[in-house]
């Protein structure tokens, strides 16, 4: 019998004895055992901080993103075996797809976020704050990787997705990790981690794996560490309140199971596409992963006059759902992960049955196709009806973490909102309605108690990812019972692992630190012209001071003729009474266009193209007779990888365009984005 191992301190290791025996959820056969007994967690955490943390912190966001993308591509080549092992957890092919390819997709999504970060190991947050009258003293914020380690304690239901959706974020931030999956399904996590370690794509120590109970894993956390926990709210609260967490102010992100609700809008009547979508979505959330999802629908809230229609629609679809061995033809719902889960779900169903009626399902009498009903972990879908959910409130307190949900009626949208809120905070809610005003009313009223709200209608149904699918670029977490954390969230998730620090000093000094030009910093004259320099040669702050141009009436007329912009302030001097203008004013876009004519070096050189303008502002009117010039400054540089061997090696350079008049005052500001060759392409 195989003993599943942990990867700690640079090697694959077995704990002492047997902590947990592991079983195939379909046939009940023992597949191995696991133990973490005897592990020295103080050494494990310190190994990650030092051995894994140092090289990660030295990498830029661009390098980390490319590393994660390479890892995702590598894991895709190994996915066939993951599906084979995933079946042992009771998962159907669709269930496994969510876990495996959904998890790998998370790596791709987070890798793409590198485009929103500088080509630095740290992040420059927001804009500078002026702190002095003369502009010689400013403030800014940077965010640097915490010099700690992320400890991820994951649930049994998604042994791959649960790991990848978390490590993608901390690795992008430059922080190493220890992953502690559920002991019951860690065998699947172990398979993938072996492939990750063998690939050598990650620096040694960046990822460690603890398979087993992991007792004591957070006893040695320090102030710069981050702990994340996914699982039951009760266990999460215990861990969050441990002295070592509280005393060291350790960041703790809790993502707990929640009593998620879906609402059928009053306008989604039988016969509409939205009613059919509602029945399909509610049934899917009961049966996918056999209901073992933290985002599954537990409460089905419908207009009181449609209870019968909804009950029949869901019951009919459940009756057509074949339960059993996922390898058998036609099976659409597999097993729970373990026999232990069967016992826990049964206990919760029996408790809920004390205050509401079972209208579909029988925990003892149901058929399966293939598998072993006695030794496997199969469970019948159960659908309840609660006729008085404001009084019979167990449904808002007790979660059966399996294929179990409850229909309840509402009289008005205010009632529906209140019922959804009675879950005391959830990861996700949804409303299915063809009426946008109804959707707006629900979202605004319910949003404060839900981490995510899906608004589903016929227009978006074809591409909707569904009620139960958190997306890596959006927040995944929720208030109250759901834990109050944000496990993902795109850029927000990465910032969770960084320490924000305010910095103060002269603009030239802050420019050097941030590698972004700050107004008031030194602007040495570029030599040669910046358009004659390759990406590597350009220095932040170097500036081209252009020739000047005196604006004329003819400029304004000609630009109006070319652009078609005949706005009265440019063309009709008799219409200016009551406006802020003293006389006809030059078009703002003419000022920017003329600025380009002044700062561009027209000869062929390293600049490949200008492809955008950001933060354009027209801050002072320019009248005929004004003389303008441009200070054209290297503002920021962002490296860019080659997409193929034949691609041109290049980077992105942002230039500050500061247009000023004869008084020296700025009249227009903009940032232009250019694509600039690197030196190795000079030939």
> Is the peptide bond between 229 and the residue preceding it cis, with omega within 30 degrees of 0?
no
> Measured between alpha carbons, how far is 17 from 585 in angstroms, rounded to an integer?
84
Sign of CA dihedral 481, 484, 485, 486: positive
Q: Return the structure tokens found at 262.
A: 């879906």
> Measured between alpha carbons, how far is 302 from 309 in angstroms, rounded to an integer?
10
Catalytic residue among 186, 281, 294, 438: 294
Catalytic residue among 255, 281, 486, 636: 255
Distance from the Cα of residue 198 to its chain's centroid: 27
- Grouping H, G, I as helix, E, B as strand and the rest as coil, residue 235 is helix
Whether residue 255 lies in the annotated active site: yes
Q: Measuring CA to CA, how many Å separate 310 from each of 68, 264, 305, 391, 478?
A: 44, 9, 10, 22, 28
Query: Cβ contacts of residue 403 below 8 Å, gap of 6+?
Result: 286, 287, 290, 291, 333, 379, 380, 381, 382
Identify whether the C-beta of residue 526 lies closer than 8 Å to the C-beta of residue 543: yes
48 exposure class (CB count in 10 Å sphere: 0-12, 13-18, 19+): buried
Query: Cβ contacts of residue 78 below 8 Å, gap of 6+?
Result: 192, 195
Whether residue 460 lies in the annotated active site: no
Q: Per-residue DSSP letters for 536-577?
A: GG--TT-EEE---EE--HHHHHHHHHHH----HHHH-GGG-T
- Choose among 560, 282, 566: nearest CA to 432: 282
* 416-437 as b/e: b if 16+ CB within 10 A: bbbbbbbbebbbbbbbbbbeee
- Grouping H, G, I as helix, E, B as strand and the rest as coil, residue 387 is coil
> Measured between alpha carbons, how far is 261 from 268 in angstroms, rounded to an integer?
17
Q: Per-residue DSSP letters for 250-316?
A: -EEEEEE---EEEEE-TT--TTSHHHHHHHHHHHHHHHGGGG--TT-EEEEEEEGGGHHHHHHHHHH
- Choose among 388, 393, 368: nearest CA to 378: 368
Q: Which residues are catalytic?
A: 255, 294
């Amino acid at each position: 019998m195989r003993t599943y191992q942990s990867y700690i301190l640079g090697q694959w290791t077995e704990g002492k004895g047997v902590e947990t025996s592991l079983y195939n959820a379909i046939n009940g056969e023992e597949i191995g055992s696991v133990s973490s007994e005897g592990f020295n967690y103080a050494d494990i955490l310190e190994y990650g901080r030092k051995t894994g943390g140092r090289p990660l912190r030295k990498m830029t966001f661009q390098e980390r993103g490319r590393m994660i993308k390479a890892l995702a591509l590598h894991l895709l080549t190994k996915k066939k075996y993951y599906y084979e092992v995933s079946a042992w957890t009771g998962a159907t092919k669709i269930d496994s797809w969510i876990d495996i390819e959904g998890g790998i997709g998370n790596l791709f999504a987070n890798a793409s976020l590198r485009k929103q970060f500088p080509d630095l190991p740290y992040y420059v947050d927001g804009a500078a704050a002026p702190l002095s009258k003369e502009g010689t003293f400013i403030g800014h914020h940077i965010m640097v990787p915490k010099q700690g380690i992320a400890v991820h304690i994951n649930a049994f239901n998604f042994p791959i997705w649960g790991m990848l959706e978390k490590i993608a974020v901390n690795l992008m931030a430059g922080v190493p990790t220890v992953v502690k999956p559920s002991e019951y399904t860690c065998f699947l996590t172990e398979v993938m981690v072996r492939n990750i370690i063998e690939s050598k794509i990650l620096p040694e120590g960046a990822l460690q794996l603890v398979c087993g109970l992991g007792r004591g894993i957070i006893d040695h956390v320090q102030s710069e560490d981050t702990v994340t926990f996914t699982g039951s709210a009760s266990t999460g609260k215990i861990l969050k309140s441990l002295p070592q967490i509280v005393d060291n102010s350790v960041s703790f992100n809790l993502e707990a199971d929640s009593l998620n609700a879906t609402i059928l809008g009053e306008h989604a009547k039988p016969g509409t596409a939205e009613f059919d979508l509602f029945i399909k979505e509610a049934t899917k959330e009961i049966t996918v992963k056999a209901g073992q999802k933290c985002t599954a629908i537990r409460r089905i809230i419908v207009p009181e006059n449609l209870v019968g229609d909804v009950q029949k629609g869901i019951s009919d679809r459940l009756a057509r759902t074949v339960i059993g061995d996922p390898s058998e033809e036609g099976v659409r719902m597999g097993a729970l992960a373990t026999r232990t889960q069967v016992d826990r779900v049964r206990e919760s169903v029996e408790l809920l049955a004390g205050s509401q009626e079972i209208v579909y399902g029988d925990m003892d009498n149901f058929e399966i196709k293939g598998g072993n009903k006695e030794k496997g972990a199969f469970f019948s879908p159960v659908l309840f009806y609660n006729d008085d959910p404001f009084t019979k409130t167990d449904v808002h307190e007790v979660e059966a973490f399996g294929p179990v949900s409850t229909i309840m009626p509402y009289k008005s949208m205010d009632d529906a909102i209140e019922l959804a809120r009675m879950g005391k905070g959830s990861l996700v809610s949804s409303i299915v309605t063809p009426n946008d005003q109804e959707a707006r009313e629900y979202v605004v009223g319910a949003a404060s108690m839900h981490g995510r709200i899906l608004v589903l209608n016929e227009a978006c149904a074809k591409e909707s990812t569904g009620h139960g699918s958190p997306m890596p670029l959006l927040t995944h977490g929720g208030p109250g019972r759901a834990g109050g954390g944000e496990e993902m969230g795109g850029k927000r998730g990465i910032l969770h692992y960084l320490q924000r620090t305010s910095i103060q000093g002269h603009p030239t000094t802050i420019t050097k630190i941030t590698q972004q030009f700050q107004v008031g910093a030194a602007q040495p004259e570029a030599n040669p012209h910046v358009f004659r320099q390759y990406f590597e040669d350009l220095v932040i702050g170097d500036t081209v001071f252009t020739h000047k141009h005196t604006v004329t009436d003819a400029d304004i007329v000609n630009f109006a003729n070319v652009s078609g912009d005949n706005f009265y302030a440019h063309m009709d001097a008799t219409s200016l009474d009551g406006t802020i203008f003293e006389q006809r004013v030059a078009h703002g876009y003419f000022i920017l266009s003329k600025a380009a004519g002044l700062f561009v070096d027209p000869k062929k050189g390293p600049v490949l193209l200008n492809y955008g303008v950001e933060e354009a502002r027209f801050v002072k009117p320019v009248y005929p007779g004004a003389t303008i010039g441009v200070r054209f400054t290297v503002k920021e540089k962002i490296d860019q990888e080659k997409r193929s061997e034949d691609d041109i090696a290049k980077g992105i350079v942002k230039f500050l365009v500061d247009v000023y008049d004869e008084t020296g005052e700025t009249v227009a500001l903009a940032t232009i984005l250019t694509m600039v060759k690197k030196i190795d392409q000079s030939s």
